[in-house]
Amino acid sequence: MTFHIGAKPGEIAETCLLPGDPYRARWAAERFLDGATLVSETRGMLAYTGTWQGHPVTIHGTGMGMPSLSIYVNELIRDYGAKTLIRVGSCGALQPDIALRDVVLAQSASTIGSPSSSIFREMRYAPVADFGLLTKAHAAATGPVHVGGIFTSYTFYDERPDLNDQLQRHGCLAVEMETAELYTLAARYQRRALSILTVSDHILTGEALPSADRETGFSAMVEMALRAAFT
């Protein structure tokens, strides 16, 4: 047990899938894992461990935003020995050729700042995905998939439309709230990380999926994450 994870030693797999939403963790565990067992529900952040095609996998919610993800990923890596960490999240699209339900593979994650920023002082660190996971996830895609840079925001309700304009102009595919810190922590501890994101809304058009779709409609990215981890 740690401050924020109730699992006993040995109950967390080396491969962890990380949705922001704890109910997405439950849905994905029930749908994709054999023998899924609830191993932590501290603060309602559900975590399940089971197997996929014989491989041990944990699916652990992270909550919303980099500070929350940072707590869980630090403990998963430092206390439980997680080695492969794949975020399965939602994002808002920033480019006109990206549609609702498309998948975005985050090659890099720009940010204004992250919980790790203070250790870099004046340096603008560039958090990047694990190349092996990225290429394997891309090969496993069965529908529209986009690969490129994303923006990890500290806020959901952003008051800077000019920032979205600049991000779009510089080819940024989508916005979400966790990946920059995930990639930075993975680099620090020499672990593999990737963010696979399903487009839940479009920043340019204002279209959005209903929240039930966000919770359960994301099979393609979970399948891509599992195939990337084990092929």
Ligand X SMILES: O=c1cc[nH]c(=O)[nH]1
The full DSSP string for 203-221 is TTT--B--HHHHHH--HHH
| Residue from 176, 182, 203, 223 in contact with ligand R1P (CB under 6 A) | 176
Q: Is 111 a binder of ligand X (CB under 6 A)? A: no
Cα separation values, 66 from 3, 27, 154, 166, 181, Å = 17, 23, 7, 22, 6
Distance CA 115, CA 214 (A): 26
Q: Which is nearer to ligand R1P, 131 or 156 (CB)?
A: 156
Distance CA 7, CA 10 (A): 8
- Which of 30, 109, 91, 17 has the alpha carbon at shortest distance from 61? 17
| From ligand X, ligand R1P, none, interface partner of 70 (C-beta below 5 to 8 A by class) | none
| From ligand R1P, ligand X, none, interface partner of 21 (C-beta below 5 to 8 A by class) | ligand R1P
Between strands 34-40 and 15-18, the pairing is unpaired
| From ligand X, ligand R1P, none, interface partner of 127 (C-beta below 5 to 8 A by class) | none
**Catalytic position from the list 79, 158, 201, 213:** 201
- By CB under 6 A, the count of residues binding ligand R1P is 10
Residue 201 among the catalytic residues? yes
| Residue from 176, 183, 195, 220 in contact with ligand X (CB under 6 A) | 176
Residue 24 in marked binding region: yes
